[in-house]
Amino acid sequence: MRAKWLVTAAALAALTTGVAACGDDSGSSSGGGGGESGSADISGSTVTIYSSLPLQGGSRDNALAVNQGAELALKEQGGKIGNYTVKFEKLDDSTASAGKWEPNQTQQNARKAVADKTTVAYLGEFNSGASALSIPTTNRAGILQVSPANTAIGLTKADPADPGTPDKYYPTKKRTYGRVVPPDTVQAAAQVTIWKENGCKKVFIVNDKEVYGEGLATAAEKAAGEQGIEIAGNEGYDPKAGNYRSLAGKIASSGADCFFGSIITDNNGVQLFTDIANGAKNIKLFGPDGVADEAFTGKDGLSPAIAKRTLITVATLDPENYPPEGKKFFEDYEKQTGDKTPAPYSIYGYEGMAVILDSLKRAADANGGKLSRQAVIDQFFSTKGRQSVLGTYDVDKDGDTTLTDYGLYKIENAEPVFEKVIKAGGGQ
């Protein structure tokens, strides 16, 4: 089979080499622990897991795929953990007017989940900037939050680009948040690796000034310096601008031979890459997982000529590079949804839900069949040697996965095509 952001049949023989990646902090206290409100057993026989994802805008396909993957994981458990029936409530953190995740909607979603006494976990957000707003709310309530897509460093470890991280997200001073994708220290190292492989000597970075984009840009700048690559500039831009021709002229004048757009597609990403490519005719273009969606690569996204010059890093690999559990996931996903080309974050939605359910099961087993929010948090942070669809990993004290592999993709015929696995030397 072939999946979006997964290798085509013809590319299965592509060379697999070493580097890593990913998208939207070092932390204070040790992992685990929530507020007092999470310590009591949950009454009744039903628990609820909420997802909060952008179901409108450029990230819609990926958000829907996250929910579908999560539903598959829950279905495989029969919708139950021990004596508890598990409900899955899907919320939208985007609005039609914003065309992407929106701060007020995100906070409203978090408050809704917290107000529900049956809530035991929160799957979200998709965008790191959104999680920066929802984590404090779920943290105060002592509810486990697991993201299928966040990569901003500062959510879990100290990020020099974002003062006060990660402590400012955890008002209880205890950790309640984790993720199943590697943080942007890994993606930054992956980007620098492919820059070097593509002969980049001088790179100009542009970021969208969001938590994700700015954090990744800073991490990439730091990693580039350590690898001897000159950074010609690292600038923010206005996503609402009509065009970026003056910025393109500045980049061309800087002498940069490569461009890295540390952005999400929803922030006028197609226009940005188009203007940079047209204004700097010979520059090589690189994008992060924030543009790993059909709105960027599809027929309504980049022109074929510009797409041909663009390489993208995203944590999703080719099915052949996953363990047997991962290969089975793609087979089951196709049977469940009929979608032969699942969006890249389907497998992360599955694993996000699966690790939550595993934490629920272990919490109930350790507490005579009863569940409490705090016990679920404790079990999540004690995850070690988990054999998952993504591979075998631990959850560290900060809530990060120990997985580091990323995929490198090119764009052909408005479709992403897997090139190889990147194993970044930068690590976490």
Q: Using CA atoms, how far apart are residues 408 and 316, in angstroms rounded to an integer? A: 9
Q: Kindly tell me if the per-residue pLDDT of 213 is higher than 90.
A: yes
- Please give the average per-residue pLDDT across 25-54, as a whole number: 70
* Pair of tokens at residue 214: 């700015």
pLDDT digits (tens, 9 = 90+) for 50-86: 999 999 999 999 999 999 999 999 999 999 999 999 9
Cα–Cα dist 305/117, whole Å:
53
Phi, psi angles (nearest 5°) of residue 149: -150, -20
Percentage of the chain surpassing pLDDT 90? Answer: 86
Mean pLDDT over 37-59 rounds to: 90
Question: Which architecture does CATH list for 184-314+406-422?
Answer: 3-Layer(aba) Sandwich (3.40)
- CATH classification of 26-182+323-393 is 3.40.120.10, yes or no? no
In this predicted model, what pLDDT tens digit does every residue of 292-321 receive, in sequence order? Answer: 999 999 999 999 999 999 999 999 898 889
**pLDDT of 20 higher than 50:** no
Helix (H) or strand (E) holding 21: none
The mean predicted confidence, pLDDT, of the chain is 90
**Mean pLDDT score, 164-193:** 97
Q: Which residues pair with 234 in a beta bridge?
A: 205
The CB density around residue 163, as the number of other CB atoms within 10 Å, is 9
pLDDT at 14: 31
What is the model's pLDDT at position 341?
A: 78
Residue written as token pair 């631990």: 394
**Do the first three CATH levels of 26-182+323-393 and 184-314+406-422 match, i.e. the same topology?**
yes
pLDDT for the residue numbered 100? 96
Binned at pLDDT 50, 70 and 90, residue 5 comes out as low
Interior angle at CA 205, CA 97 and CA 101, nearest 5:
20
Q: Which residues pair with 252 in a beta bridge?
A: none
Helical segments of 201-345, H only: 211-226, 245-253, 269-279, 294-297, 304-307, 324-337
Confidence category of residue 423, pLDDT binned at 50, 70, 90: confident
Q: Could you tell me the pLDDT band of residue 339, with boundaries at 50, 70 and 90?
A: confident
Tell me the average pLDDT across 353-363. Answer: 98
Cα(63)–Cα(59) distance, integer angstroms = 6
Name which of 6-15, 159-168, 364-373, 402-411 the model is least confident about.
Answer: 6-15
106-150 tens-digit pLDDT: 999 999 999 999 999 999 999 999 999 999 999 999 999 999 999
Q: What is the mean pLDDT of residues 207-223?
A: 95
Distance between CA atoms of 183 and 398, rounded to whole angstroms?
11
How high is the pLDDT of residue 41? 84
- Lowest pLDDT segment from 18-22, 262-266, 280-284, 318-322: 18-22
- The confidence score (pLDDT) of residue 27 equals 35
> What is the average per-residue pLDDT within 19-47?
56
257-293: b (≥16 Cβ within 10 Å) or e: bbbbbbbbbbbbbbebbbbbbebbeebbbbbbbbbbb
Categorize the per-residue pLDDT at 4 as very low, low, confident or very high, splitting at 50, 70 and 90: low
- Predicted structure pTM score: 0.88
Q: What is the mean pLDDT of residues 6-21?
A: 33
Do residues 229 and 195 touch, judged by C-beta distance below 8 A? yes
Residue 33 has pLDDT above 80, yes or no: no
The per-residue pLDDT for 8 is 35
Q: What is the pLDDT of residue 16?
A: 30
**Does residue 3 register a pLDDT over 80?**
no
Sequential DSSP letters for 330-376 = HHHHHHHH--SS--TTHHHHHHHHHHHHHHHHHHHHHTTT--BHHHH
What's the rounded mean pLDDT across residues 214-232? 96
Confidence of residue 32 (pLDDT cuts 50, 70, 90): low
Q: How far apart are CA 380 and CA 273, in angstroms?
A: 39
Q: Is the pLDDT of residue 6 over 60?
A: no
pLDDT higher than 80, residue 31: no
Question: Which of 346, 406, 347, 356 is closest to 383 using CA atoms?
Answer: 356
Strands 80-81 and 84-92: antiparallel
Q: Indicate whether 426 pLDDT > 60.
A: no
Per mean pLDDT, which range of 12-21, 268-277, 347-356 is the poorest?
Answer: 12-21
167 class by beta-carbon count within 10 Å (0-12 exposed, 13-18 middle, 19+ buried)? middle
Per-domain residue ranges of the chain = 26-182+323-393, 184-314+406-422
- pLDDT tens profile 368-399: 999 999 999 999 999 999 999 999 999 999 99
Q: pLDDT confidence of 343, banded at 50, 70, 90? A: confident
